[in-house]
A and B are shown apart, each in its own frame.
Chain A
Amino acid sequence: METPVITTTGLTKIYRAHRSRGREVTALDGVDLHVREGEVYGVIGQSGAGKSSLIRCVNLLERPTAGTVSVAGQDLTALAGRGPRAGKELRQARSRIGMVFQHFNLLSTRTVQDNVELPLEILGKSGKERSRKALELLDLVGLSDKAKSYPAQLSGGQKQRVGIARALAGDPKVLLSDEATSALDPETTRSILHLLRDLNRQLGLTVLLITHEMDVVKTVCDSAALMENGRIVESGTVTELLATPGSELAAALFPVGGDASGDDRTVIDVTFHGDAATRPVISQLSRTYNIDISILGAAMDTVAGRQVGRMRIELPGRYEDNVVPIGFLREQGLQIELVGAAALASALVKEGAK
């Protein structure tokens, strides 16, 4: 789980608008990405943040202006050559990287099976081998009964399953997913994400996905990175991120709201993960110290197969009065962040201590 499968260093992509001298758009600005073997890595960001350029640079559909990309220990940027066309080695390397697209990109004139066979045709496999492999893959994605259908006859979710089957045809170690679920409804999105999860586990497939939906990261990702203006602002495993105080991603994954109901109250954000998530910590706190706790907001979810949650609670009394209960929570392995007035008070207390 530790060897990086996809590594980019200082990846930069600058688009020069044609005929408008000097007007440049920096889509990627020195991106360092490390995706470890067997993980599902999500890159999230708003449109225009550079996600698409990033994923296209990974298999060099876009030539990076600077920086290097290596996939499975192979430096792709070195294979690229100078011309705009992809040389043989780069094409071979690409065939070992699967890619799934937002708009599926299936050939409308081919049947589902023929679509899945396409990468195998490119690899020069024999007819028998192709159809065996294609049917096997269609079975894997749950579409064995649609082999003879045309893409036009399928629903969005089914089309994406075909897209995934096709991406897996070359037995890739790495799967790139370019907003694979963005054109799908929430229900279908979930089923596609579960499929990706299953494939990741069954085949040990490393998945790099880009998305603008937090839910996607929450549902399937082991690690995540937040992109803004062509840079990676935050990155790490989801558990790490949740444990990082002030993490934007963590806050976005688990948005909790609520304001203090009075001046003499302490508001804290509690983040649970690992064991603590299953223990009745709040109820213990209440009983041990005999205090009334009100919950202002809470979110609980399963992230990467683990229960994780965030809760904003209010304790009676000022921060000074609550140092002991907060200490108790910290002892229980919870991560505590003070909110608003309490944060200020805590800072004052610390200063006073000095």
Chain B
Amino acid sequence: MTWSEMQPLLEQACWDTLYMVGWSTVIAVVGGLPLGILLVLTDRGGLLQNTVLNKVIGQVVNIARSMPFIILMVALMGFTRSITGTTIGREAAIVPLAIGAIPFFARLVETAVREVDGGLVEAVQSMGGNTWTVVRKVLVPESLPSLISSTTTTIVALIGYSAMAGTVGAGGLGDIAIRYGYQRFETELMWITVAVLAVVISLIQFVGDYAARGLHRRGGQSGAAPRLRLLRSRAAANSGSRATTDSDTEAGSGSGSGPADAGTSAETPAADVSKVD
């Protein structure tokens, strides 16, 4: 295969990937953000404490997250058809991608929002703010750097998932690598595709880290270290320990990596992809 043959293939694949990942990210953020916040708010000691609802949402999220993507895609075919009118092509791939990414992102959001100092919530309450004010003025803005990192992680994971979208004829870089590179023994094309993916992912990670760090630098290093869980009503020490960002937030959900930390977040998507395969 010559370069002139490869080029249009690669170009088309790039656009397909960006199109699918772009839309599914938008949907994942729109759906996952409120879900993640709701998980925090309804937890014990939260502002909207509702243990039953919390358990239900938590379980739904867990089930959705444990589903291998390729199975999810097949399982959702009926639903996909009812929305897009088809089960093949780029649009059809967006539906399972988005639905797979919503719970993933929701867990990352949950972790990020939990890190917001409970004292800030208390402060806004003492000013007469309601729950919505707390969400709008405290939880989201204060966890924004982490949320941006979570979005980066989600995008990278979605690029990994989108390789499988080829099975429904959606195209994309992963699809090219499998169909041409692997199945037709076009090793050269496969490596080029992998290289392109590597560049794309590095770029996304770089931009995401840059944005998150920029926000951190503006507000960061403050006394308001994200130590305390929202659940505790009493303010505890929030002076001092900010130093290394959020790399220790991971354990909580077992899903995301410490955002804003290039090292760990680069590993997570890889782990996710391998799980799916």
Contacts and interface: CB of A to CB of B under 8 A. Distances in A.
A103 interface: yes
B123 A105 contact: yes
B215 A122 contact: no
B129 A102 contact: no
Interface stretch (B18-26, B90-98, B229-237, B260-268): B229-237
Interface stretch (A148-156, A230-238, A268-276): A148-156
A166 B120 CA distance: 13
Given A94-B126, A103-B235, A170-B128, A108 B224 contact: yes
Interface in A47-105: 52, 56, 59, 61-62, 84-86, 91-95, 97, 99, 101-105
A150 B233 CA distance: 25
Given A109-B142, A118-B137, A103 B126 contact: no
Most chain B beta carbons < 10 A, residue from A62, A84, A152, A170:
A152
Nearest to B126: A99
Nearest to A97: B126
A85 B41 CA distance: 12
Nearest to A52: B234
A33 B221 CA distance: 40
B124 A122 contact: yes
B66 interface: no
A36 interface: no
A159 interface: yes
B126 A59 contact: yes
A91 B123 contact: no
Interface stretch (B42-50, B79-87, B99-107, B187-195): B42-50
Nearest to B127: A119
Interface residues of B, number: 38
B117 interface: yes
B119 interface: yes
A119 B224 contact: no
Contacts of A183: 239
A123 interface: yes
B89 to A, nearest CB: 41
A118 B127 contact: yes
B126 A109 contact: no
A18 interface: yes
Contact of B223 (A52, A85, A103, A169): A103
A151 B223 CA distance: 8
A107 interface: yes
B131 interface: yes
- Say which size band chain A's interface belongs to: 35 or more
A145 B125 CA distance: 28
A86 B126 contact: no
Contact of B117 (A56, A105, A121): A105
Contacts of B144: 109
A106 B223 CA distance: 9
Given A94-B128, A109-B142, A156-B239, A61 B122 contact: yes
Interface in A107-123: 107-110, 118-119, 121-123
B252 interface: no
Nearest to B218: A150
Most chain A beta carbons < 10 A, residue from B127, B130, B133, B237:
B127
Nearest to B129: A122
Interface string A134-169: 000000000000000011100010010000001001
B219 A109 contact: yes
A95 B128 CA distance: 5
B106 to A, nearest CB: 22
B128 A119 contact: yes
A105 B120 contact: yes
B93 to A, nearest CB: 36
A107 B126 contact: no
Given A95-B128, A159-B223, A110 B133 contact: no
B142 A95 contact: no
Contacts of B68: none
Contact of A151 (B126, B224, B233): B224
Contact of A108 (B47, B122, B131, B219): B219
A150 B142 CA distance: 13
Contacts of A62: 233
Contact of B224 (A93, A105, A156, A166): A105
B119 A110 contact: no
Most chain B beta carbons < 10 A, residue from A84, A97, A102, A107:
A107
B127 A108 contact: no
Interface string B220-260: 11111000000001111111000000000000000000000
11 contacts: A91-B130, A99-B123, A99-B127, A107-B137, A108-B142, A108-B224, A109-B218, A118-B127, A151-B223, A156-B239, A183-B239
5 closest Cβ contacts across the A-B interface?
A95-B128, A152-B222, A108-B222, A109-B219, A105-B123
